[in-house]
Structures are given as structure tokens and as C-alpha cells.
Amino acid sequence: MMRRLVVISRCICLAAGLLLSSPLSAAANDDDPYSVNIEQNLATPAVNAKHSAVVANAMGLLTRTLRQAGFETQGVRKGEVTMVTIPCRDLFGPNSIEIKAKGKQLLSKLVPYIKRSDKYKVVMAVHADDTGDAIYAERITSDRANAIDEYFASALGGESPVIPYGLGNDEPVAPNTGVANREKNRRVEIYFVPTKDFIDNARKKK
């Protein structure tokens, strides 16, 4: 299967459940999510401020459901987006880009949600620690993102709807000191962004 190009982006900044970035240009094209960076994809479609709490509440169900399934989850973008974090060690061997059998079993639990493209836009970011140089980090995160994307395509029996990014080692969540911290930084983040239809339905049910 031919790999899709993974965009390398260094401008994502997520902390405390909020997108910490400058206001986005209206040029972000929601019709072609592969043409924009990850920050724009995570911010689009936007939710009107007066409907934010309603959408966050509706997305909270997905966050809780995936947490009950054993995933580390949290709400970002004020709870409007569900983020799943998977340690790379659960999916890959050291320096490997081949998904382990147990990793495929873990990812299979996400397939029923990833295929709901009517409800969620799915964005994936793969991160590395600072072991090795930046070129290596970008290459292995891109290759791992492609491997996961190809797994989902195979599991769905067609093209994967996931928008994959290999982000290298530029977004650590812990200091790159010691084994435990480096393991935290080697991670896969899968974001479920509510679609316009999801937002409209949540708003109507208010």
C-alpha cells in the first residue's frame, strides 16, 4: 500500500487542555485538511463560544468511553476535542516502525470511533524523545505515523480518514532526562475533533 505523505509541523502547543497559540488565519481550508498544519486542523471547525460548553459536554462522553476502554484520555480545546495518548512502547519496539501484534490489538479498539467520519475528524501526531538527531526523530515519527495510518486503512478496508503528522522531538511533555521521562515523550496522540454536523447536532439538542 502506498504511504500517504506525512506533514512535518512544529507549531502545535497544547497545555492544560487549551490551545496556546496565536489566532489562526481564516485561510485554513477545512475542505482540504491535508494542506494545513496540525494546529489549524485541531482548531477547525471552530465552535461558537456560546455553544462551547454544549459541544464539550457531548464530546465528554467519548472521552469517558475511551478512558473506560483503557486509554489515557483528556479533553483539550476547552473540552471540545478528545485526545488519546498512547506510549510508543505499547505500539512499537525500540527504534522500530513495525506495529507489534499487541499494538494492533490496542489500536483496534479505536477503529469503531475512527470510522465515524460523520462525527469526528481524526488527527494523529507521533512524537519522539531527543535521542538521536532531529532528522532521525522526524523520520521515525513520520514512519510510525504512516504505519499507524496504514493499519487503520487496512482495518477499515479502504482509505484511512486519519490525518497523520510526524512531529519529531520538538514537543516534549517532560524533560528529556532519564528513561521514564523519555518514554513519556515517545508517544502517539490521536485527536477526535467534532465535525460541523456533530457541532450542529449538539447545539440543537441543547
Residue 54 corresponds to which cell in the numbers above?
454544549
How far is Cα of residue 194 from the mean position of the Cα atoms in its chain? 13
Task: Decide: helix, strand or coil at residue 161.
Answer: coil
pLDDT score recorded for residue 23: 31
Closest CA to 168 of 2, 38, 41, 76: 38
Give, for all 206 residues of the chain, the pLDDT tens digit. 444 555 544 433 343 333 333 233 334 444 788 889 999 999 999 999 999 999 999 999 999 999 999 999 999 999 999 999 999 999 999 999 999 999 999 999 999 999 999 999 999 999 999 998 999 999 999 999 999 999 999 999 999 999 999 999 999 999 999 999 999 999 999 999 999 999 999 988 76
Can you list the positions of beta strands (E) in 4-117? Answer: 14-15, 18-19, 72-76, 81-87
pLDDT score recorded for residue 132: 87
Amino acid in the structure at residue 158: G
Q: Count the Cβ atoms, other than its own, within 10 Å of residue 206.
A: 11
pLDDT score recorded for residue 4: 52
Residue 57 corresponds to which cell in the numbers above?
459536554
Residue 190 corresponds to which cell in the numbers above?
490521536
Are 13 and 19 in contact by the 8 Å Cβ rule? The answer is yes
- Dihedral angle over CA of 167, 52, 27, 85, nearest 10: 10
Q: How far is residue 16's CA from residue 127's CA, in Å, rounded to a whole number?
A: 18
Using CA atoms, how far residue 61 sits from 55, 79, 139, in Å, is: 10, 11, 35
For 188, counting Cβ atoms within 10 Å of its Cβ (0-12 exposed, 13-18 middle, 19+ buried), the class is buried
